[in-house]
Structure 1
């Protein structure tokens, strides 16, 4: 009992604290009575976002990954794809080496069809001709050299064809910051990537993708920057020799890049520092990116700056810096859609400060077919707030009644039944989607509200029917008859069911407005919505459920029963 009292006391203090903080936030938000509901919602969201931004060095980016968990740019390069399939043939600049096999065919004055090896001196020995030096020649020059040598002995009626058939394999050392340093076999025309892939690839935690050297007898013969290969397909063309060494340097200064990019990576700088403009050559930004949160540490301590792209490109980046890109630029235009009964296009690009009546003046309609006095707007921000409000009501319902204690066995049985009822009701309520309808029709006039990006303006068709739904025997649509009351249409639909709440019948207008049927005049196109009664004995629970059922009916035009 003591624990329960302490728990209740803590809960009361928590509720009081929450209410106090909510009141202080609300007190700072101005909400003039003559402004639209959607605009008030937007102002509240804007105020909240502004308050959050004041506590940070720029926009909060929920997609930004932890820099420690980012992989280096190019880490997925070495997955076995370069060593699994050897290229067919040789590159055009390949030079003949000792050990290569050359096919020579001659006909006419000399009949010859032989495969001749290149010896250690770089010669091939052609029968009846003698040795011919071919080392260092390209495949295209080889045929001319052999034909000339044969032509010096057989001056007339000789045709010659040569082909570099096979090459001598070479063994190349791969060392430095790779996964498996060692000596690997290949052909002289294989690429650096082939040997690196055989060594397991560059170690992503410590190896450099930008500083790779090819050494021959201790001298550098080529430098490789894999960033240029990844983005531009550029790779030096080399001819490896026996005993060459591929050396991967230690990883250089790294900068983390995340946010509105194709993929979050850590990028290696070309030196200890580098202009951001040079780094951005390798980064694929998403369309519309305008700013970046630039942070890091210098001798004076940590820093953070929120810069547009032009200013960012002039900054010097160093090891440990972070860049979080974002789209933070308001488009001067917005896109709205029109649905219903009208003529012309259904989508309009308009200025951001455009008003509803300005747009409606440019849309041709036939007043005999379109109900221009029942225009409404479906707005995304209103739908979000309706969803949040419904979710809060459902959470409050679960918290209040599902965790309540019971004093007797009978009361416990009642609580169990009520809990099952509530859980089923909450599950079905969460599946409903609020319509986000903003009512702009008032007293036969349309209020001139500001439009927002994504708004859908509904111009309904004139209707001569009445739809009866909810807790009636046969929900159906009927022809409107002047002078008939709500009760008459319900009777024509078979009357109320046993679950109906006779005191809770609503009228849903074509304009999106929902009113009490007892205090409103029936119009063509209205929907009569009969809400269900709440079958629980707990008066407080019944009241809460009735409020939520009414809330669902207004936002979704659904009479959700229990």
Structure 2
């Protein structure tokens, strides 16, 4: 039910913005549009030998004399008198002499002189018209491909032209029709021999459907007459293995039409011109993936069943005996990262509003406000770049709580530590050996004392299990002491908002480094 509700929300904009969506879909590149980039129209140096070609061959000198016109058979061979069959189909005409010379040498006639020339490969001129970029009369060879001639004319017009209906006319009648999709998919292109004054006509584009999402081929697909079912589109779009559903937007009976179906039902679905299909990976699957970091050995990534709880997975994790701090286990979670980012963004927005809308009672105060606004703007830009860790705290005293795991969770099992880190607004950030007799003042003195920016009333203790405490009388091995900077301003609301941001950064990312220098 929840997923269906999300789908309705996703489709609602299309009900009020259909003309814009339809226009956007029409700008999608047609399937095969990348064919015409000038590569096929490059000079072919006489073209290639094809079955049916006639070749003039003269051999003289030595013990061999031949003066004959040879025809390339259906298998691409010619029969050379006194020599035998030779495969020539596919050879460029300018390479034919070298190939014959090698054949003669292998047959013991290396001293023979050779003359070879195509009889049917004289230049031809072909008219190209219809929906192409530059209609006109273009020269080429009889063995040039339809792609080469179309490329000479600038390719098919992507808005109006058909990639599936290209007609070759000769003497007023159509002798062949080309579909370029098999070439794009499998490299198949029918052979054709052009004649002088032939005409290539690119017909109007047929019904077209836009495809995007979880597919290998995202494009505007043209449908042939009689082939407007989803079955034909599946063969063209090639959905990814992850695709499970399709969302279809279109027009039916003059009104916007939307539907959401399992992928298996697309094959029997009739499609219409202008339809927009989005293939979606909306199948939750039966497993999720979780990772492990810290004092562990062996596997660090686990596929587990959806709905598995932490206690189940811990049975499969090999920790380092005597080194792993089991009581400090915590989780880094993607969804929590997003929540923390949103909370930080909201706080930054309020901070900017406070800084930019603060009133002043004198010109001197106006200058102060302007300077503070500039400082806060820089602070906000730096704070936006902070990446929260998304920590889920599990520790409750000496016990670790249990919870249902989510896909992408990172289970962190810290190593036991004998040191205390001192960071933030101190003279020299330090890592010091923990001593049960030391208190906060001892650790601060070991870091050179507070610096001029320190706020001595805002010191946080960050535990190995990801929790944050303001109880500086209880400092344990592995803790991090973080001294926050003092916020100085006549605008008390700005002081409050900046302090909130600093606290959020400290809790979500474990640092305020790079931010405090902008506050003074």
What is the Cα deviation at residue 376 of structure 1? 0.6
Residue 361 (structure 1) aligns with: 315
Mapped contact 1:253–1:273 kept (Cα < 8 A): no
SS in structure 1 at match of 2:504? helix
Residue 203 (structure 1) aligns with: 157
Mapped contact 1:273–1:316 kept (Cα < 8 A): no
What is the Cα deviation at residue 218 of structure 1? 3.0
After TM superposition, list the pairs within 5 Å mapping 1:56-95 onto structure 2.
Answer: 66-86=24-44, 90-95=48-53
What is the Cα deviation at residue 106 of structure 1? 4.4
Residue 550 (structure 1) aligns with: 503
Mapped contact 2:307–2:405 kept (Cα < 8 A): yes
SS in structure 2 at match of 1:405? coil
Tell me: CA distance 1:497–1:49, structure 2 relative to 1, closer, same or farther (3 Å): farther
Mapped contact 1:272–1:319 kept (Cα < 8 A): no
CA distance in 2 between partners of 1:54 and 1:185 (Å) = 52
SS in structure 1 at match of 2:507? helix
Matched, 1:102 2:56: yes
Matched, 1:52 2:6: no
Which of these residues, 433, 452, 455, is aligned with residue 501 of structure 1?
Answer: 455
Tell me: CA distance 1:160–1:406, structure 2 relative to 1, closer, same or farther (3 Å): closer
Tell me: CA distance 1:111–1:419, structure 2 relative to 1, closer, same or farther (3 Å): closer
What is the Cα deviation at residue 195 of structure 1? 1.5
After TM superposition, list the pairs within 5 Å mapping 1:11-160 onto structure 2.
Answer: 49=6, 52-53=9-10, 55=12, 66-86=24-44, 90-96=48-54, 102-106=56-60, 140-141=77-78, 143=80
TM-score, normalised relative to structure 1: 0.78
SS in structure 2 at match of 1:505? strand
What is the Cα deviation at residue 499 of structure 1? 2.2
Residue 540 (structure 1) aligns with: 493
TM-score, normalised relative to structure 2: 0.84
Which of these residues, 258, 275, 279, is aligned with residue 212 of structure 2?
Answer: 258
Mapped contact 1:64–1:259 kept (Cα < 8 A): no
Residue 345 (structure 2) aligns with: 391
What is the Cα deviation at residue 552 of structure 1? 1.5
Mark the runs of 5 or more structure 1 residues left unpaired by the alignment.
Answer: 1-44, 117-123, 125-133, 148-158
Matched, 1:491 2:454: no
What is the Cα deviation at residue 512 of structure 1? 0.5
CA distance in 1 between partners of 2:65 and 2:11 (Å) = 90
After TM superposition, list the pairs within 5 Å mapping 1:124-523 onto structure 2.
Answer: 140-141=77-78, 143=80, 163-165=116-118, 167-262=121-216, 264-271=218-225, 274-299=228-253, 301-518=255-472, 521-523=474-476
Matched, 1:527 2:480: yes
CA distances 1:440-473 after superposition (whole Å, capped 9, x unpaired): 1111111111111111111111111111111222
What is the Cα deviation at residue 108 of structure 1? 7.4
Mapped contact 1:104–1:163 kept (Cα < 8 A): yes
CA distances 1:393-444 after superposition (whole Å, capped 9, x unpaired): 0110111222223221122122123213312322222222211111011111
CA distance in 2 between partners of 1:174 and 1:79 (Å) = 17
Mapped contact 1:373–1:446 kept (Cα < 8 A): yes
What is the Cα deviation at residue 85 of structure 1? 3.0
Tell me: CA distance 1:251–1:420, structure 2 relative to 1, closer, same or farther (3 Å): closer
Mapped contact 2:51–2:72 kept (Cα < 8 A): no
SS in structure 1 at match of 2:237? coil
CA distance in 2 between partners of 1:547 and 1:110 (Å) = 98
CA distance in 1 between partners of 2:64 and 2:438 (Å) = 116
What is the Cα deviation at residue 241 of structure 1? 2.1
CA distance in 2 between partners of 1:256 and 1:184 (Å) = 33
Tell me: CA distance 1:458–1:220, structure 2 relative to 1, closer, same or farther (3 Å): same
Tell me: CA distance 1:111–1:508, structure 2 relative to 1, closer, same or farther (3 Å): closer
SS in structure 1 at match of 2:235? coil
CA distance in 1 between partners of 2:179 and 2:149 (Å) = 15
SS in structure 1 at match of 2:228? strand
Mapped contact 1:208–1:250 kept (Cα < 8 A): yes
CA distance in 1 between partners of 2:7 and 2:35 (Å) = 42
Tell me: CA distance 1:355–1:65, structure 2 relative to 1, closer, same or farther (3 Å): farther
Mark the runs of 5 or more structure 2 residues left unpaired by the alignment.
Answer: 85-111
What is the Cα deviation at residue 301 of structure 1? 3.8
Aligned CA-pair RMSD: 3.1
Tell me: CA distance 1:227–1:521, structure 2 relative to 1, closer, same or farther (3 Å): same
How many residues align? The count is 481
CA distances 1:189-240 after superposition (whole Å, capped 9, x unpaired): 1111122222222222222111112223334332210011111111111122
What is the Cα deviation at residue 366 of structure 1? 4.2
SS in structure 2 at match of 1:462? coil
SS in structure 2 at match of 1:66? helix
Mapped contact 1:273–1:319 kept (Cα < 8 A): no
Mapped contact 2:50–2:72 kept (Cα < 8 A): no
What is the Cα deviation at residue 188 of structure 1? 1.5
SS in structure 2 at match of 1:337? strand
Tell me: CA distance 1:54–1:213, structure 2 relative to 1, closer, same or farther (3 Å): closer
Deviates more, 1:374-383 or 1:195-204: 195-204
CA distance in 1 between partners of 2:206 and 2:422 (Å) = 72
SS in structure 1 at match of 2:459? strand
What is the Cα deviation at residue 52 of structure 1? 2.6
